Amino acid sequence: MKIIVTDGYVENPGDLSWAPLEALGEVTYYDRIGLTDEDETIHRIGDAEIAVINKAPVTRKVIDNCPNLKFIAVMATGYNVVDVVYAKEKGIPVCNVPNYGGYSVSQFTIALMLEACLHIGHHDRTVHEGKWQNSPDWCYWDYPLIELAGKTFGLLGCGRIGIHTAEAAKRLGMHVIAYNRSQSQAAKDLGVEFVDLDDLFARSDVLALQMPLADFNVGIINKENIAKMKDGVIILNNSRGQMVVEQDLADALNSGKVAFAGLDVVSTEPIQADNPLLTAKNCIITPHMSWGSQGSRQRIMDCTVNNIKAFLSGTPENVVNP
């Protein structure tokens, strides 16, 4: 069985082992690929039966030009880079990794929130620059320090990741409210209060986006909905950048309506030089790294290998185009 890894570097920059995958067939690895380069994807997959991809585009053209392709394993939860409908027409199962980063992503959300409230990075820099040595006082802070206990943490999305985030916020003494299209008993047992969207926007002191991208939530953080929020709200997004109208958020940051934004995702990735959030006040942007802990990536590797084993045994799992 010939297996191609089209773009494996971000999943495994060298700290994981490909050996479990190698046990399943003849494996060829590539580190990186152009995010829209169909021809390069065609060249790499070639006559392979199994393609293991991350962000390599597998379009109708790719599928038509890779006639031996029988199975596509996506090393991620999102699979929008694959034409899953056409793959199904061709009898090619596409499998993803549905749950691997709950702890890592929720941990990162809390880290963004704590940075917004305490500005630890900024104050570390000022100490190293000599400000404390020359301070007339024995301590100082350049931003208001925010205590979270008693404040309301709002979740736009309360699935597997949201529940972990809610649990951490509760431990900090926050009241957690959430909007989700389904209301899990596990979240209710944790004490999460489910509300409608307008209530979520109006009541949240901190609003975290932790929902998969869907038609209804594209651009949901826009000037109309920001206007419904509290003055000084903190907005966190390590879900999908397309949920935010970036110019509207930048305007709200610059006006002070939004006190701080902590973002791990933007609408076009890698980020473009003209993104208005790059020059907005009080905005931290990290390079879509919430998911990237070694433990999280090991779970991706393990699930991908298991997905291929299940396909080879005739009982595919985690199929997104059944």
Mean pLDDT (whole number) for 89-97:
98
Q: pLDDT-derived band of residue 228, with 50, 70 and 90 as boundaries?
A: very high
> What is the residue extent of each domain of the chain?
2-96+294-312, 102-285
Residues 6+ apart with CB under 8 A from 30: 4, 5, 6, 7, 8, 44
* Pairing verdict, β 258-263 and 283-285: parallel
Identical fold, 2-96+294-312 and 102-285: yes
pLDDT, residue 207, reads 98
Mean pLDDT (whole number) for 236-251:
97
Q: pLDDT-derived band of residue 99, with 50, 70 and 90 as boundaries?
A: confident
State in words which class domain 102-285 has: alpha beta
Name the CA dihedral angle for 176, 180, 182, 187, rounded to a multiple of 10 degrees: -20
Q: pLDDT-derived band of residue 212, with 50, 70 and 90 as boundaries?
A: confident
Domain 2-96+294-312 adopts which CATH fold? Rossmann fold (3.40.50)
pLDDT in tens, 100-153: 988 999 999 999 999 999 999 999 999 999 999 999 999 999 999 999 999 999
Q: Verify whether residue 288 is a known catalytic residue.
A: yes
Active-site residue, selected from the candidate residues 240, 246, 297, 299:
240
Record the tokens describing residue 167, joined without a space.
Answer: 């649990």
pLDDT in tens, 279-288: 999 999 999 9
Residues 6+ apart with CB under 8 A from 90: 63
Q: Verify whether residue 128 is a known catalytic residue.
A: no
First to last CA, the chain: 23
From CA 4, how far away is CA 124, in angstroms rounded?
45
Q: Verify whether residue 122 is a known catalytic residue.
A: no
CB 12 within 8 A of CB 35: no
> With 90 as the cut, is the pLDDT of residue 35 above it?
no
